[in-house]
């Protein structure tokens, strides 16, 4: 059997500093013993005298671990477990039932209700410590899985080279912004642009330098647009911005600012300084009720080809 010191040392202190515990116990002596034991383990402990009070506390401030007595006045421990499992919290709540019931049917009933573990009363402190150690490992694993999930979601939404929204994420967010613009009766514009003669950069300097050019352009354009405008990498050397709540002249000013700032910034690469220009197509819709993102993209693409046809390093506009 592990002694208290060994169990405490087996905990991850970094994680345990974040771990909060709510004790639901109507017996003041048992409650005091639990608080003393868990405090020694470095846990943040709160208490409730019955299931209803525990539930109200969880609504205001969820805990990572709930240790609840089975038999309490009002809301029982089993009912508390059922309410916790019926609610959607931001993170998983691990539940340990304290019970004097030793009938296997009762224990199965508690576990089926959603409890993760149980300890029979009067509890053995070392046994409870060991079971809390199991809870800690499971909660830490859940924390790591959530962090991994968040990172995967981030990687799925952003372009790995430039750090901008990728095509899928840009499209999803643009649809949301356009719907909001329709509700607010705002106009909207799409600015679509690509690097003039980008293939020559790759052919002349290699793809590594081409990547540096794309990264530099992303940085320059980010400073040319408003902080709340959507900006993404569409494909290859094609980039796109969605501008809402802006008059046509203001949107065109943003498009021209993008072109000028790219043209005036010399890109310093591993092969030396390289001048870069972009051709810009802009589509503007004053009345959005009948407009769609696809329609704006189509017009912006047509405008981009018009700008290229007129000699590149310029903007062209299609307005409706």
CATH number for the domain harbouring residue 97? 3.40.50.2300
- Look at residue 15 in the predicted model and tell me its pLDDT: 47
Separation in Å, CA 105 to CA 67, 71, 75, 108, 112: 20, 16, 20, 5, 10
DSSP state string for the chain: ---HHHHHHHS-HHHHTT-EEEEE-S-HHHHHHHHHHHHHTT-EEEEESSHHHHHHHHHHS--SEEEEESS-SSS-HHHHHHHHHHS--SS--EEEEEES---HHHHHHHHHHT-SEEEESSPPHHHHHHHHHHHHHHHHHHHHHHHHHHHHHHHHHB-TTT-SB-HHHHHHHHHHHHHHHHHHT--EEEEEEEETTHHHHHHHH-HHHHHHHHHHHHHHHHHHS-TTSEEEEEETTEEEEEEES--HHHHHHHHHHHHHHHHHSPEEETTEEE---EEEEEEEES--TT--HHHHHHHHHHHHHHHHHTTSSSEEEEE-
Give the rounded percent of residues in the chain with a pLDDT score beyond 90: 58
Q: How confident is the model at residue 9 (pLDDT cuts 50, 70, 90)?
A: very low
User: Residue 267 sits in which domain range?
Assistant: 167-319
| Same domain membership, residue 124 and residue 244 | no
Given a cut of 60, whether residue 5 has pLDDT beyond it is no
Per the domain annotation, does 75 fall within a domain? Answer: yes
Q: How confident is the model at residue 18 (pLDDT cuts 50, 70, 90)?
A: low
**Domain-ending residue, one of 113, 130, 155:** 155
Given a cut of 50, whether residue 14 has pLDDT beyond it is no
| Same domain membership, residue 178 and residue 128 | no
Per the domain annotation, does 162 fall within a domain? Answer: no
- Look at residue 310 in the predicted model and tell me its pLDDT: 94
Given a cut of 80, whether residue 153 has pLDDT beyond it is no
Per the domain annotation, does 160 fall within a domain? Answer: no
* Dist. CA 280–CA 225, nearest whole Å: 14
**Domain-ending residue, one of 100, 132, 155:** 155
| Same domain membership, residue 173 and residue 205 | yes
What's the farthest any 2 CA atoms get from each other in the chain? 87
Annotation marks residue 237 as catalytic = yes
- Look at residue 320 in the predicted model and tell me its pLDDT: 83
Separation in Å, CA 261 to CA 111, 256, 292, 301, 310: 64, 9, 29, 21, 20
| Same domain membership, residue 181 and residue 76 | no
- The sheet with strand 188-195 has its strands ordered as 230-235, 238-244, 188-195, 278-285, 315-319
* Dist. CA 297–CA 305, nearest whole Å: 12
Total structural domains within the chain: 2
Per annotation, catalytic residue among 50, 194, 237, 301: 237
**Domain-ending residue, one of 127, 155, 183:** 155
| Same domain membership, residue 42 and residue 121 | yes
pTM above 0.75, yes or no: no
CA–chain centroid gap for 300, Å, is: 31
Q: Which CATH number belongs to the domain containing residue 262 in this structure?
A: 3.30.70.270
More confident residue, 316 or 102: 316
| Same domain membership, residue 57 and residue 141 | yes
Per the domain annotation, does 140 fall within a domain? Answer: yes
- pLDDT average, residue stretch 279-307: 90
- Look at residue 317 in the predicted model and tell me its pLDDT: 96
């Amino acid at each position: 059997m592990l002694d208290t010191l060994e169990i405490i040392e087996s905990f991850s202190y970094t994680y345990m500093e974040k771990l909060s515990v709510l004790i639901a116990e109507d017996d003041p002596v048992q409650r005091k013993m639990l608080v003393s034991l868990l405090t020694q383990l470095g846990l943040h402990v709160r208490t409730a005298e019955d299931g209803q009070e525990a539930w109200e506390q969880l609504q205001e401030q969820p805990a990572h671990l709930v240790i609840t007595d089975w038999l309490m006045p009002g809301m029982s421990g089993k009912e508390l477990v059922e309410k916790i499992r019926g609610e959607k919290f931001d993170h998983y709540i691990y539940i340990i039932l304290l019970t004097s019931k030793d009938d296997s049917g009762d224990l199965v009933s508690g576990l089926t209700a959603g409890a993760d573990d149980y300890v029979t009363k009067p509890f053995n402190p070392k046994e409870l410590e060991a079971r809390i150690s199991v809870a800690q490992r499971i909660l830490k694993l859940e924390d790591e899985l959530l962090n991994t999930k968040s990172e995967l979601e981030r990687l799925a939404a952003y372009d790995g080279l430039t750090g901008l929204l990728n095509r899928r994420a840009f499209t999803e967010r643009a649809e949301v912004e356009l719907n909001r613009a329709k509700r607010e009766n705002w106009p909207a514009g799409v600015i679509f642009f690509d690097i003039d003669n980008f293939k020559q950069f790759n052919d002349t300097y290699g793809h590594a330098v081409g990547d540096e050019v794309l990264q530099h352009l992303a940085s320059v354009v980010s400073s040319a647009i408003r902080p709340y405008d959507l900006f993404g990498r569409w494909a290859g050397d094609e980039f796109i911005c969605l501008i809402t709540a802006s008059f046509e002249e203001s949107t065109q000013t943003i498009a021209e600012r993008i072109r000028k700032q790219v043209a005036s910034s010399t890109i310093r690469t591993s092969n030396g300084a390289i001048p870069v220009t972009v051709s810009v197509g802009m589509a503007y819709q004053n009345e959005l009720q009948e407009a769609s993102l696809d329609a704006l993209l189509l017009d912006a693409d047509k405008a981009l080809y018009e700008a290229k046809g007129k000699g590149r390093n310029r903007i062209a506009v299609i307005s409706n």
